[in-house]
Amino acid sequence: MKIKVRFPPSPTGNLHVGTTRTMIYNWLFAKQNKGEIVMRLEDTDTERSNKEFEADIMNSLKWLGLDWDGPVYRQSERTKLYRKYLEEFLVNKKAFWCNHSKEELEVENKNQIEAKEPPRHVCSHKQDNLETGVVIRVSVDSNSDRTISFNDRVKGKIEFKESLLGDFAIARNLDSALYHFAVVIDDIDMEISHIIRGDDHISNTPKHILIYEALDKPLPIFAHIPLVLGTDRSKLSKRHGATAVSAYKNDYLPEALFNFLGFLGYTFSKDIISKEEMVAEFELEKVHQSGAVFDIKKLDWINSQYIKKLPPEEFKKLANVPELPDEAVLIVTERLEKLSDIQNFNYLWEKPKYEKDVLQWKEMKPEEIQNSLLQSSFCAGVEIKKLGSKLDEIAKDNFGGDRGAVYWPLRVALSGKKKSPDPIEIIKILGPKETKERINEAKKKLES
């Protein structure tokens, strides 16, 4: 059997990280089996779909390296195909026009809920052969004692009672197919072999199976994947933070986000894992049963591991800091979780800005700070290897061995920060001339 899966995003929003995680599993599965991936934009909701969202989806997939085979299909361009099948369904009495009003359906649903039954519509127009109406529905036998079951590759055997499905809607009119119908017609037409999607679609599956059966088509294999959750274990949404892949582009490496998303529902053999290794390891049957929490701290950690591995030139390009000296790349990449955090290290390529109070260590008096800085400035040209012991000596001779009295003002003079890498590391990057200049500027600040 030829393996064929699909990416079916709706361009009604930016590409969502949860959708992307599901696409990653489709991608891994297809690559592993030398299968194909169909790209299909589900844009039947013309009011909410737009080209900007479409561009965001395409760019984000490209950025992550999630490629597909063949053309990009748009459901909005396939209405003729859906119409052909809708007409066939009506002629064969697999579907019918329902003319019940919204109000009538609401009353029906209210009664069903009171009777503790699932809300659905059991239509009395089935035999009426109406030529038009409010909506086209599939005719489902409400007296059936059949159990519709399928073997889900992730969730195992799943069963539904046919009698509880109701006559479900598939089109507003012949030129306006609804989700359930368009999806199944497309999956059949595109010969999709494996439908790997979020488990919020499980309850749609028996309806889809009925459409396959009405057309006498073999069923695909279904695999329903648990949803991505927020930290409070509810479905991941904007209140948990950014949900669009594009919101992560400035701070994270695509390989890191891919690696992180891959773990939302699966346990790979190691935390930092390449796409190729993921492809080799992935098994649908090992996808987790329950939802995975989107933990930004884990993403930050994974990202920091990828940043560390970047060659200097590439890092400078990605972080947009061409002025950063090559020697500084290592101390910076050792300390970054997000690319934009590089701005905390701007003192490595430009003079720091700070208030003079920051120079003060403990109860030091201004003249003591001046003295400390003066002594340090004499060391600016000392060989880096010997610099540490030289600074320790100053502390011993002048400040009773309190190293902070030397290191603190020096650190601030060089970086403008209370927290920074070791001042010696900074001196190594700045060189003796710049070091001296910065110390002198600090001294001037104290005089003002």
Q: Which residues are annotated as a binding site for ATP?
A: 238
The minimum distance between CB 122 and Zn ion, in angstroms, equals 8
CA–CA distances in Å: residue 278 to residues 4, 164, 260, 400: 19, 40, 12, 57
Measured over the CA atoms of residue 209, residue 210, residue 212 and residue 213, the dihedral's sign is positive
- Nearest CA among 417, 351, 403, 415 for reference residue 372: 403
The minimum distance between CB 140 and Zn ion, in angstroms, equals 12
- If binding is defined by CB under 5 A, does position 170 make contact with Zn ion? no
Contacts 24+ apart (CB under 8 A), 138-141: 138/89, 138/94, 138/95, 138/167, 138/168, 138/170, 138/207, 138/210, 138/211, 138/214, 139/93, 139/94, 139/95, 139/96, 139/167, 140/165, 140/166, 140/167, 140/168, 140/210
- If binding is defined by CB under 5 A, does position 273 make contact with Zn ion? no
Between β-strands 169-173 and 135-138, what pairing exists: parallel, antiparallel or unpaired? Answer: antiparallel
Residue nearer to Zn ion on the CB measure, 98 or 442: 98
The minimum distance between CB 98 and Zn ion, in angstroms, equals 3
The minimum distance between CB 129 and Zn ion, in angstroms, equals 13
Residue nearer to Zn ion on the CB measure, 105 or 410: 105
Among 31, 100, 208, 438, binds Zn ion (CB under 5 A): 100
Q: Which stretch binds Zn ion (CB under 5 A): 90-98, 174-182, 183-191, 411-419?
A: 90-98
Q: Which stretch binds Zn ion (CB under 5 A): 97-105, 211-219, 352-360, 395-403?
A: 97-105
Residue nearer to Zn ion on the CB measure, 98 or 177: 98
Q: Could you give the CA distance from residue 153 to residue 5 in angstroms, rounded to a whole number? A: 14
Dihedral pair phi/psi, residue 132, rounded to 5°: -160, 175
Q: Binding string, 124-143, against Zn ion, x = CB under 5 A?
A: -x------------------
Q: Binding string, 105-124, against Zn ion, x = CB under 5 A?
A: ------------------x-
Between β-strands 228-229 and 72-74, what pairing exists: parallel, antiparallel or unpaired? Answer: unpaired
User: With contact defined as beta carbons under 8 Å apart, do 387 and 395 qualify?
Assistant: no
The minimum distance between CB 101 and Zn ion, in angstroms, equals 9
Enumerate the known binding-site residues. 238
- If binding is defined by CB under 5 A, does position 98 make contact with Zn ion? yes
Q: Binding string, 350-389, against Zn ion, x = CB under 5 A?
A: ----------------------------------------
Residue nearer to Zn ion on the CB measure, 6 or 100: 100
Q: Which stretch binds Zn ion (CB under 5 A): 10-18, 92-100, 232-240, 435-443?
A: 92-100
Q: Could you give the CA distance from residue 373 to residue 406 in angstroms, rounded to a whole number? A: 7
First-to-last alpha carbon distance for the chain, in angstroms, is 81
**How many residues belong to the site for Zn ion (CB under 5 A)?**
4
Q: Could you give the CA distance from residue 307 to residue 333 in angstroms, rounded to a whole number? A: 6
* Structure-block tokens of residue 98: 């329902």
Interface with Zn ion (CB under 5 A): 98, 100, 123, 125
